[in-house]
Amino acid sequence: MENFQITFLGTGTSHGIPVIGCECAVCKSSDPRDKRLRTAIHIQMPSLSIAVDTTPDFRTQCLREDITRLDAVLYTHSHVDHILGFDDLRRFCELENKAIPVHGSHETLTSLKRVFQYAFDGSARYPNYVRPDPVTMSGKFAMDGFDIIPVDLPHGRMVTNGLVFEKNGRRLFAYFTDCQSVPPEAEEAARGVEVLVIDALRHTAHSTHLTVQGALEAARRIGARQTWFIHMCHELGHAATEADLPPYVRLAYDGLRIHV
């Protein structure tokens, strides 16, 4: 579907890669696919431009991908590596003289309002500095002809929102970042999806993220046609990791564009 384009703004974990002060093979790699900014995506729908999360690298990511318009932001959760580019939304407000709808769970919006109080309470000094329009994600909602279904994913003591995109009953795209497992309800919501994007931090166990093996098992149960791994740390070199994966599972990389 050429009118649904996904751009991977970043595919790395909260440190980013290379990691400051690290001399490992991945951090020193010359493979550009091993250079990972913090995880977020941009979705271009037929008439809407949407970001999912605004990382600390958000300005750099938007400049690199020539993103000059945003119509909405969907937040998966409020960890700092997913929200600290929030203030860069001010430029998009200024460019089109409009507020930007900011979607998130009640808990996520509460955190955003606390961290960026000046944006939500109207105390920002300048017109169009940041004009968020908060929208609570509490169930299925529609955007530009697509249905979006938020699903709960466990992430340590936090619950993140996975997102499943459908059109005319066809499950097109599921985005499951920052999760330590995929509960049955989330699996069912994404069952048979065309493209699955899923957290795969590393090979060794972690208390808040899926391992490569855990992500593979979740992808198998969901039955996605194509799966892309994201939120990877510096234990996973791109070429070496992909060599051991089945052909329908690949590692995403910064700047990758796919059409669903």
Helix (H) or strand (E) holding 63: helix 58-64
pLDDT beneath 70, residues of the chain: 1-2
Phi, psi of 34 (to 5 degrees): -90, 0
How far is 220 from 258, CA to CA, in rounded Å?
A: 21
Residue whose C-alpha is closest to residue 75's, from 146, 157, 132: 132
Amino acid at position 181, single letter: S
Q: What is the pLDDT of residue 2?
A: 58
* All structural domains of the chain: 5-259 (3.60.15.10)
Strand, helix or coil for residue 77: coil
How far is 210 from 201, CA to CA, in rounded Å?
A: 6
Provide CB contacts within 8 A for 4, sequence distance 6+: 43, 44, 45, 146, 165, 167, 172, 173, 259, 260
Residue whose C-alpha is closest to residue 44's, from 75, 65, 13: 65
Q: What is the pLDDT of residue 125?
A: 72
Radius of gyration of the chain (CA): 17
